[in-house]
Structure formats: C-alpha cells, structure tokens
Amino acid sequence: MYIAFDNMPETARVWIYQSTQQISDEVVAQIENHGQSFCESWDAHGQPLKSSLKVLHNRFIVITVDEAFNAASGCSIDRSVRLVQELEQSFGLSLFDRTHIAFLQGNEVLLKPLNGIKSEISAGVIGEDTVTFNNLVQNLGEMKAKWKVPVGESWLKRYFA
C-alpha cells in the first residue's frame, strides 16, 4: 500500500539508488507514478507493505517500507530490485553503478569517479566541508540525520590525513 514519502515513519527501512545521470522532471514524474503503482500492490507473503518511492535531487530513487506494519521479505526485496532494474531499462538510467560518489555543490548534485576522489581532494576541489551522500543509511530517521554529511565526517575523511 502506497504511503506518501513525507508520511512514512522515521523507522521505515530505506533503499537508495543513485543515478549516474541527472533525471529530468518529466522522467521523475513518470518514475514516481510507476513507483506509486508498484507500492500499491507490493506485498510480503501476501501481506501488504506500507511503502513509498520518491526521487530526490533528480538523482536518487528512494524506496521506503514501514516494517513496523509488515516486514519486507527476501522475495519482496527482490521484487523492488526488479522494479529498479525495470526503471533503468525504461528510462535509460544507470542505478547500480557504485563507481561514482555524489557531492552537493550549491543546489546541484555532482558525481565524481571513485578512482579520482583522492586527487580531487589533493587539488582542493573537494574539501572537508563539501557535502557528500551516504547512500547506505538504513532508515528514514538516519537518512534525515546522516544522508547528507560533510566529507570530513564520512569514510572519505581518510584522504585528509
């Protein structure tokens, strides 16, 4: 059952998929409509899942499930992964590429190749205060508090030693 993203509890489980390219507003609307339809029928062993899908910053597809209502199972999680794969195919996106790190500069999300981060830091392009995204947050509360973090407070801080 679909629940508006803003109405999901902070304990809701979160999965974040980062697109390697900016997603247009038109495609965002199509993805969110598709996601709402998916969430309306998404279940775990016949039990409905209170869930939501939202695109943030025209770059991140976020799926949430209120596991206090019903927990997502392996099979239901697999179905959500298939949904994301379908979105990749339908809209020509790359959502499983983990070789780029996202940074927020002003209102723009920029992606930098992982293998060039150290040199970007050495050159001063990325500083300790530059905001990066922690796409490994586990729930919505953690996402609100720790999704956007300064590089100096992330795993990238080791490059400032």
Whether residues 106 and 87 share a domain: the answer is: no
Whether residues 28 and 69 share a domain: the answer is: yes
**Residues linked to residue 13 through DSSP beta bridges, in sequence order:** 65, 139
CB of 11 within 8 A of CB of 135? Answer: no
Which tens digits make up the pLDDT trace of 43-63?
Answer: 999 999 999 999 999 999 999
* Verdict on whether the full-model pTM lies above 0.85: yes
Whether residues 87 and 13 share a domain: the answer is: yes
Residue 143 pLDDT level (bands cut at 50, 70, 90): very high
Whether residues 48 and 123 share a domain: the answer is: no
Whether residues 15 and 71 share a domain: the answer is: yes
Whether residues 32 and 50 share a domain: the answer is: yes
DSSP-assigned letters across all residues of 84-117: HHHHHHHHT---S--SEEEEEETTEEEEEEGGGH
Residues spanned by the domain of 135: 100-160
Whether residues 44 and 116 share a domain: the answer is: no
Which tens digits make up the pLDDT trace of 90-128?
Answer: 999 999 999 999 999 888 999 999 999 999 999 999 999
CB of 56 within 8 A of CB of 63? Answer: no
Which tens digits make up the pLDDT trace of 70-83?
Answer: 999 999 999 999 99
Q: What's the total number of domains in the chain?
A: 2
